[in-house]
Every structure is written in structure tokens, then in C-alpha cells.
Amino acid sequence: MNSFEESWLLLVVSLPSSGATARMRVWRGLKALGCAALRDGAYLLPGAPERAHALQALADDCLREGGSAWLMAVQPRSVDDAAAFRHLFDRHADYAEQRQAWKAANAGLADLAPAELIRLQRKLQREFDALRAIDFFPGEAAVEAEAAWTDFGRRIEGLLSADEPQETAGRIPSLRIADYQGRSWATRRRLWVDRVASAWLIRRFIDGQARFLWLAQPSDCPADVLGFDFDGAAFTHVGNRVTFETLMASFGLEGDAALVRLAAIVHALDVGGDPVPEARGFEAVMSGARERLNDDDALLAEMSAVLDSLYAHFQRDTASTHDKSRTR
């Protein structure tokens, strides 16, 4: 199909002058869809069934409010007209505005707490996703913005995961829990998800008398102490496993279905992957506790109670699922 034969959607609407609320609602809907205003009350979109349904819904809204609405399929008469239509949807300036916002935000990232960094990242991600959704004819500006967003995201991830261990290859040896009793364990201070969950796992399932050291930097770890969740530690990321999962594999805990459910939360929050319904809630509790508590012992104690509760819930949930499968 030639560009001037493309189908376009034209919505022409009018609302009573008294309908200020309805007018604002319709305007917001048109903006969210990425419509181009040809003049007041006339809005254009590239043709597509889902866009036609969305515009029809706005047209119906206008009619319910006592206004008028006409939704039409139109075509440009020439290549020049088609180019003019497409130009109405040039998002170059919008991408430039977002990139400027990222640049301004980047200057203050180092001063933000982890929870603030996460909130900022999600807000900017939503804005970027919304723009990409209405960039019907992406060009060089979209490519450049994608690269800039990747760089910005890496900057945030680097701040959230300072000294975060890198993946290592190799086999995870099978260890005896009896050989790891009453030991000293160490990880980086200002605990985050993988570290706090790993410390809980150690004390709850591996070494009930474990003593923990919180390190300002990994190089501070004494030679006779078992380090975890940093490069060069006794227990860290191996392959696609986070430290929590490495500990489970090392000590034969992978048969515990409730722990596997917890591991999915830790994995999703630490390195990403498949979404886990409980992850956002755990992250919110962890962020709040981290803001309130400067002492890592106190933070571990509080989050251990949360992990105990989640573990108990998953135990009951997995047992219930197993019972139902047996009765079928």
C-alpha cells in the first residue's frame, strides 16, 4: 500500500459550552491516544482497529453529554498530503523534552535514597512508555531516546546495586549444614533484598547461631569469615542464580516449595525476570524499613519477621495445592 493510500481516522466532536468536566475528560482521552488536532474539535489518528474502538468510545461519551460526534475513515489525496499527515505525529520534540528531564534528574541521583530512586525510575519509565505508545512512525529520535534511557537506567541500577556481585560461572558444590554451625558471616551493610533474605535463610535454615558482620566494603571481610553476596565471597551469584538461590542449592534446600516461592521474589527484585505477585509488596515493606532503620541488625530482625510470615503463607499455600491435586 502506498503511503497516500493509508487509512486514517478523523473524529469531529463538539460539546455544550456548559460541559467543562466532560470537555476535559474527552481532551485527556484524545491526548492519551496521541491524536493530532487539525483544528478545535477535529482530531486525526493513523487507522487501526483498536484506535477506532477507542475513538468511538470517546465519540459515545460526547453523545451522552449532549454533544455531537462523527468518526470517519479518511485517506490523503496525494503523497504530499500523506507526508503532511505523518508530520503531525513527529515526536522529536517530545523525546527531546524527556531526554532533558532525564539529564536534569541524573545530576541529583546520587543524593536519593533507594526507595526514591525506584519511584523516580518507575515514574520516568511510565512517561517514556506512554510516549512510545503514541509514536506511530518512530524514527531516529526514538532510537536515540532508547539509547539514552538505557544509559540512564544503568546509572540508577548502578546506584541501587553498588558493589553488587557479578555473575560467576561454575558448579555449585553440595555442602553439609553440620559443617557450617556457629560461624561468622559477612555481607555489605545497608541491607537490600538479596542480602537480607540470604541472612534470614542462613540463620533460619543453615546456621541458627550465625553471627553477622556488616561491611562498609567487600575488602573489609576477614579471611576467616564466610562472605556472601559480593564478588569473591564464599556464596554469591552463580550463573543466573542470586545469592539466596546459591545458598539454597549449596545446602540442599531446593526441595522446599515454600522457599522456592520466596526465591522467586528475591530473584525478581534483585535481577529481574518473570513478575511475582508478592514482589512489589515485599519491596515496599523493605524500602520503608530501610528508611526507618539505620541499624542493619534491627533491619534484619524486622525483615526476618516478614520473611517468616511469607514462608508460613507459602507453606500453607503449597500444602493446600498439593492436597487438592491428590484428591483429583
Pairing of strands 211-215, 184-188: parallel
Biggest CA–CA distance in the chain, Å, is: 82
Q: Which three cell numbers stand for residue 227?
A: 562472605
Sign of CA pseudo-dihedral 275, 277, 279, 280? positive
Rounded-to-integer distance, Cα 22 and Cα 65, Å: 7
Rounded-to-integer distance, Cα 276 and Cα 271, Å: 13
What's phi and psi for 240, nearest 5 deg?
Answer: -95, 10
Weakly modelled stretches of the chain, pLDDT under 50: none
Residue 172: which residues within 8 A CB-CB, separation 6 or more?
238, 241, 246, 249, 250
What's phi and psi for 55, nearest 5 deg?
Answer: -65, -40
pLDDT of residue 128: 94
pLDDT of residue 168: 64
pTM over 0.85: no
Q: Give counts: helices (H), strands (E), the chain.
A: 11, 7
Q: Helix, strand, or coil here: 226?
A: strand
pLDDT of residue 161: 65
pLDDT of residue 164: 60
Unique residue bearing C-alpha cell 512489589: 280
State whether CATH 3.30.70.240 applies to domain 3-87.
Answer: yes
Rounded-to-integer distance, Cα 287 and Cα 293, Å: 10
Rounded-to-integer distance, Cα 194 and Cα 90, Å: 43
Closest-CA residue to 23 (of 45, 40, 46): 40
